[in-house]
């Protein structure tokens, strides 16, 4: 079944004449007859009663006439909707990002341009935990999310793009005994307590922490699991331990924290945009195309409280 056969059938039903249907479509009467016959064969019903000089619909033909009219009307409405949406005239787009991400640098610039380009699109944006981002992307509540690359393995059926490269950092309270230093060596962190989101919240965070410590030569750390990044920051602020975050987080500009830049190691950390392959919201490719000019743009360099110095022979 194809659009030609449906249109030929609709014309023949309208005129009750294969000849007039052929004239309407600038083709021959045998072509109309052949295509209608093929349609009947595929459907398994007779659509017309053919006489020597007359053509009339069967009961099945009358029913199919009504159904094909509905289909054609629906297709026309769908095409009009696609045109409106592709021009940015309507639609809804829901975006989620990880809690405490610096939105002024990593989220709002492309989103602002997108909003100006398509002012009638309703944009919903909110922060969430790692687990909520996964859940809502999977169930379609979010169309696009911003999260860290170590989280991507926990998703299924997603497309993702590297958005911004960021620097991992150790973070502690300004009142922590280690916060008096401006330069650190691996031994300074040996045996320290690190607060990290629990595996059910962020399945890749602990593995990332251990990999970084191994690369830096830090030994025997103690990992204490907390529920969320908010819980981690609360514990850090009140001296319960240190944390591992990145330069993409708001707290790097918070004077209550002491942030230690980790040197460049063989361990990429970046913010990724991700969307579900099964989400057919046509606004997703529109946003991704707008976002593409921003991805991999180096963010403004953050000002760290201190630096980490690798010691030869320790790594």
Domain 3-86 has CATH 1.10.10.60: no
Q: Is pLDDT above 90 for 156? A: no
> Domain extents for the chain?
3-86, 92-165+270-291, 168-267+302-308
pLDDT at 313 over 70: no
Cα-to-chain-centroid distance, residue 260: 31
pLDDT tens readout for residues 14-29: 999 999 999 999 999 9
In this predicted structure, what is the pLDDT of residue 299? 64
Tell me yes or no: is domain 168-267+302-308 CATH 3.40.50.300: no
* Same CATH fold assignment for domains 92-165+270-291 and 168-267+302-308: yes
304 has a pLDDT exceeding 50: yes
- Band of residue 38 on the pLDDT scale cut at 50, 70, 90: very high
The percentage of residues in the chain with a pLDDT greater than 90, rounded to a whole number, is: 49
pLDDT tens digits, residue range 247-298?
A: 889 888 888 999 998 877 666 788 999 999 999 898 898 898 888 877 766 6
Q: Could you read off the pLDDT of 66-110 as tens digits, one per residue?
A: 988 888 888 877 777 776 666 666 789 999 999 999 998 889 989
Class of residue 284 by CB neighbours under 10 A (exposed 0-12, middle 13-18, buried 19+): middle
How much is the pLDDT for 175?
93
Q: Which fold has domain 92-165+270-291?
A: D-Maltodextrin-Binding Protein; domain 2 (3.40.190)
Give me the pLDDT at residue 290, please: 85
pTM for this entry? 0.70
Check residue 267 and give its pLDDT.
66
Choose the most confident range, by mean pLDDT, from 72-81, 156-165, 190-199. Answer: 190-199
């Amino acid at each position: 079944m194809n659009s030609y056969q449906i249109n030929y059938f609709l014309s023949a039903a309208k005129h009750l004449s294969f000849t007039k249907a052929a004239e309407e479509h600038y083709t021959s009467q045998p072509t109309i007859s052949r295509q209608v016959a093929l349609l009947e064969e595929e459907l398994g019903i007779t659509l017309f009663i053919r006489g020597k000089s007359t053509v009339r619909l069967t009961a099945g033909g009358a029913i199919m006439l009504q159904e094909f009219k509905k289909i054609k009307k629906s297709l026309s409405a769908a095409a009009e909707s696609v045109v409106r949406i592709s021009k940015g005239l309507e639609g809804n787009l829901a975006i989620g990002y990880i809690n405490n991400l610096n939105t002024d640098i990593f989220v709002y610039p492309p989103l602002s341009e997108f909003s100006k380009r398509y002012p009638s699109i309703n944009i919903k944006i909110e922060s969430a935990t790692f687990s909520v981002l996964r859940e809502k992307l999977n169930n379609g509540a979010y169309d696009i999310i911003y999260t860290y690359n170590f989280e991507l393995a926990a998703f299924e059926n997603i497309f993702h793009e590297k958005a911004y490269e960021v620097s991992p950092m150790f973070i502690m309270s300004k009142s922590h005994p280690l916060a008096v230093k401006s330069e650190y060596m691996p031994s300074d962190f040996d045996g320290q307590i690190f607060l990290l989101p629990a595996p059910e919240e962020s399945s890749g965070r602990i593995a990332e922490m251990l990999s970084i410590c191994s690369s830096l030569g830090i030994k025997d750390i103690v990992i204490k699991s907390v529920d969320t990044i908010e819980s981690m920051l609360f514990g850090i602020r009140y001296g319960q331990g240190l944390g591992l975050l990145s330069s993409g987080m708001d707290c790097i500009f918070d004077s209550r924290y002491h942030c230690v830049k980790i040197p460049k190691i063989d361990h990429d950390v970046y913010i990724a945009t991700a969307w579900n392959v099964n989400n057919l919201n046509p606004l997703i490719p529109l946003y991704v195309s707008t976002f593409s000019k921003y991805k991999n743009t180096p963010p403004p360099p953050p000002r760290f409280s201190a630096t980490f110095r690798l010691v030869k022979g320790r790594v």
